[in-house]
């Protein structure tokens, strides 16, 4: 009996289901981060034994399975739409990568194939930025080695390794004599997180910051009054204020602190913007920013904002990206390149069972901090408000479903990382490699005799 006769469609489907479940367990809040390094092993194994179109279907199955296991349950249609938007894009990314993995499996040596797959995965993530940003590296959001790497390559370098590790394992199984070198690189990357620790954050430029977690302005003002004597700047959540900022101005001037307040503002005519302003200790507006990337129904309610400049406050220069803006590396990097030494983020994630969107979104924030070497204050209205140091380490985090606040001393950015200076060079290099390799494969196929 030959190998082809033993093939059954149930095999790649089963492997895809296993990959989706493994990835869901690797992501926060479960956060079995070591599993994240090998979660794609079953999917890549499926891609090697089936055709590209079927492999792409396996990628979709993996993404859908991950969504179902990750969410656990849904309570209403709005939650289903939100989950479908995020994980629909994720499933398409996996389909793209798995399809290319299958296409290259029969024409590339297994070691070259593993690198090609990693480049394809990064390229798919890069394309997702134009629809809904997807990053498979979120399982490593508190891995000191992964965050150190992000300062040089952005999150793209970590995603590359997430694909390379299972690919290298397949390489060493398929071609033991040739695959060991690649597998050693992958294994070292996976194990580094067990031994690499966050550096001690020392510096002369320090700031006492606070993030208030509250569902309404009155609660936020009360909490600010309770902790303001121990903070230089306080951040309130997104969607907390409407057009009237009187309460926010009174709170800032009464407590003699800088205050970041999110509000709905006019930009001239009938245009409405999802905005945030920095209010000084005297109640005046130090700077205003507008949300650049609107989430879901916001696209029908507000107008897209433009790039903003950091404010010039007493002793520090804060930038204010708003909520979904932090999923886009260009927004945070742009603020830092224009001089921001700290990022202050008003945030409001949609409610989901077990706060899964809160966990998923907040897992991207350590990467934004590490990529640019800048501390981030993250204020949420219902859970997981947090403070991250400039290495991406979460130093303080609020519990879910409580009116509270978190405070910490942070060291301001002191220089620019390679990623801040060079941008997405690594992701574009991966995309270039995929295009070149695909061109070579197509040319070889055309040159084969009929």
Q: What is the pLDDT along the chain (450 residues), one digit of tens a residue?
A: 444 556 688 999 999 999 999 999 999 988 899 999 999 999 999 999 999 999 999 999 999 999 999 888 777 787 888 888 889 999 999 999 999 999 999 889 999 999 999 999 999 999 999 989 999 999 999 999 999 999 999 999 999 999 999 999 999 999 888 888 899 998 999 999 999 999 988 888 899 999 999 999 999 999 999 998 889 999 999 988 887 899 999 999 999 999 999 999 876 667 889 999 999 999 999 999 999 999 888 888 899 998 889 999 988 999 999 999 999 999 999 999 999 999 999 999 998 888 989 999 999 999 999 999 999 999 999 999 999 999 999 999 999 999 999 999 999 999 999 999 999 999 999 999 999 999 988 877 666 555
- One DSSP character per residue, 81-149 reads HHHHHHHHHHHHHHHHHHHHHHHHHTTS-HHHHHHHHHHHHHHHHHHHTTTS---GGGGGTT-HHHHHH
Q: Do 327 and 347 form a contact (C-beta atoms < 8 A)?
A: no
Note whether 160 and 262 are same-domain residues: no
Q: Which two tokens stand for residue 412?
A: 């301001």
One domain, residues 256 and 154: no
The pLDDT value recorded for residue 3 is 46
Cβ contact 227:407 at 8 Å: yes
Residue 179 has which token pair? 């695959």
Domain co-membership, 190 together with 257:
no
Tell me which residue of 96, 93, 113 sits closest to 45, measured CA to CA: 113
On whether both 188 and 252 belong to a single domain, the answer is: no
* Of residues 343, 352, 346, 344, the one with CA closest to residue 401: 352
Res 1: pLDDT: 40
Question: Structural domain of residue 110, as residue ranges?
Answer: 7-197+424-447
Give the end-to-end CA distance of the chain in Å, rounded to a whole number: 28
- Structural domain count of the chain: 2
Strand pairing class (394-397; 386-388): antiparallel
Q: What ranges in 237-297 are assigned the alpha helix state H?
A: 246-255
Whether 183 and 238 map to the same domain: the answer is: no
Residues 153, 278 within the same domain: no
Determine phi and psi for 181, rounding to 5 degrees.
-65, -45
pLDDT of residue 15: 96
Same domain, 316 and 288: yes
What's the pTM value of the predicted model, to 2 decimals? 0.94
Q: Is residue 186 part of a domain?
A: yes
The reported pLDDT for the residue numbered 178 is 82
**What is the CB neighbour count within 10 angstroms for residue 2?**
6
pLDDT at 85 (0 to 100): 82
173 and 71 housed in the same domain: yes
User: Are residues 150 and 19 located together in one domain of the fold?
Assistant: yes
What tokens appear for 70 in the block?
Answer: 């990750």
């Amino acid at each position: 009996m030959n190998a082809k006769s033993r093939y059954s469609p149930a095999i790649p489907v089963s492997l895809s289901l296993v990959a989706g479940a493994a990835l869901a367990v690797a992501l926060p809040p479960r956060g079995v981060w070591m599993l994240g390094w090998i979660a794609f092993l079953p999917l890549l194994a499926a891609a090697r034994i089936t055709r590209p179109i079927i492999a792409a279907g396996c990628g979709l199955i993996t993404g859908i399975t991950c969504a179902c296991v990750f969410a656990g349950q849904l309570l209403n249609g709005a939650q289903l739409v939100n989950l479908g938007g995020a994980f629909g894009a994720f499933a398409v990314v996996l389909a793209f990568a798995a399809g290319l993995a299958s296409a290259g499996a029969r024409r590339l040596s297994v070691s070259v194939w593993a690198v090609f797959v990693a480049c394809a995965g990064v390229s798919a993530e890069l394309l997702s930025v134009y629809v809904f940003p997807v990053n498979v590296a979120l399982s490593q959001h508190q891995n000191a080695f992964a965050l150190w790497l992000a300062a040089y390559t952005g999150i793209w370098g970590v995603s590359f390794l997430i694909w390379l590790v299972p690919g290298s394992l397949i390489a060493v199984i398929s071609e033991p004599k040739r695959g060991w070198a690649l597998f050693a690189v992958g294994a070292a990357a996976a194990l580094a997180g067990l031994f690499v620790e966050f550096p001690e954050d020392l510096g002369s430029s320090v700031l006492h910051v606070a993030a208030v977690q509250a569902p309404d302005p009155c609660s936020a003002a009360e909490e600010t009054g309770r902790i303001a004597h121990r903070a230089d700047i306080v951040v309130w959540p997104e969607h907390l204020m409407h057009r009237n900022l009187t309460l926010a101005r009174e709170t800032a001037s009464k407590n003699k602190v800088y205050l970041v307040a999110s509000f709905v503002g006019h930009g001239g005519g009938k245009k409405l913007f999802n905005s945030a302003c920095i209010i000084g200790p005297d109640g005046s507006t130090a700077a205003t920013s507008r949300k650049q990337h609107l989430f879901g129904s916001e696209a029908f309610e507000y107008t897209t904002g433009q790039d903003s400049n950091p404010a010039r406050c007493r002793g520090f220069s804060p930038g204010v990206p708003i909520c979904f803006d932090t999923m886009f590396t260009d927004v945070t990097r742009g603020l830092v390149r224009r001089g921001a030494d700290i990022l202050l983020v008003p945030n409001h994630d949609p409610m989901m069972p077990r706060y899964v969107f809160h966990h998923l979104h907040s897992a991207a924030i350590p990467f934004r901090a590490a990529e640019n070497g800048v501390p981030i204050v993250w204020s949420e209205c219902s859970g997981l408000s947090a403070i991250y140091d400039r290495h991406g380490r979460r130093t303080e985090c609020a519990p879910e479903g409580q009116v509270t606040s978190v405070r910490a001393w942070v060291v301001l950015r002191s220089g620019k990382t390679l990623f801040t200076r060079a941008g997405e060079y690594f992701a574009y290099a991966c995309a270039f490699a995929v295009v070149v390799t695909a061109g070579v494969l197509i040319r070889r196929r055309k040159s084969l005799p009929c």
